[in-house]
């Protein structure tokens, strides 16, 4: 059964999402070379995954509003799977580069999240403990 949505938590997510989207747009706006955009998106997603790992590792199940704002909101808006998918698909004429971009994005994102989780646990003085996916909110 689905949990009811708390309006206050939803508000934190929405405001955080706006902040994250604006931060990503600010990084992408000055880029004049369209060929650089997919690589910048990769970097944004890798850094966002690292920071999300830190947030989840640090806050764990404490401070749900802060986690909703920072994790789901800011970092959810900052990172973007859809831009990664579209930019990879646009490189269909160069499958080797598309494959490299896709592999690099997934590997960098997962590696960043793992490093972030351990760093966040260290910050929270809970080294080594990683929550199970079913426990994440």
pTM: 0.83
Binding residues for Na(+): 76, 79
Residues comprising the chain, all counted: 137
Higher pLDDT among residues 124 and 20, named by residue: 20
**Residue carrying the six token digits 């989840």:** 56
* Element spanning 105, H or E: helix 95-123
Average pLDDT, the chain: 88
Binding residues, as ranges, are: 76, 79
* 14: number of Cβ within 10 Å: 14
Q: Which residue has the tokens 């009811």?
A: 4
Rounded Cα–Cα distance for residues 48 and 93 (Å): 28
Confidence of residue 71 (pLDDT cuts 50, 70, 90): very high
């Amino acid at each position: 059964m689905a949990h009811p949505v708390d309006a206050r938590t939803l508000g934190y997510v929405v405001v955080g999402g706006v902040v994250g989207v604006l931060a990503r747009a600010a990084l992408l706006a000055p880029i004049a070379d369209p060929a650089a955009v997919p690589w910048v998106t990769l970097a944004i997603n890798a850094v966002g995954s690292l920071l999300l790992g830190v947030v989840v590792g640090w806050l764990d199940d404490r401070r749900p509003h802060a986690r909703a704002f920072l994790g789901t909101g800011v970092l959810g808006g900052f990172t973007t799977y859809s831009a990664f998918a579209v930019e990879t698909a646009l490189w269909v004429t160069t499958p080797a580069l598309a494959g490299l971009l896709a592999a690099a994005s997934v590997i960098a994102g997962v590696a960043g999240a793992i490093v972030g989780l351990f760093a966040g646990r260290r910050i929270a003085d809970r080294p080594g403990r990683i929550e199970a996916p079913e426990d994440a909110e």
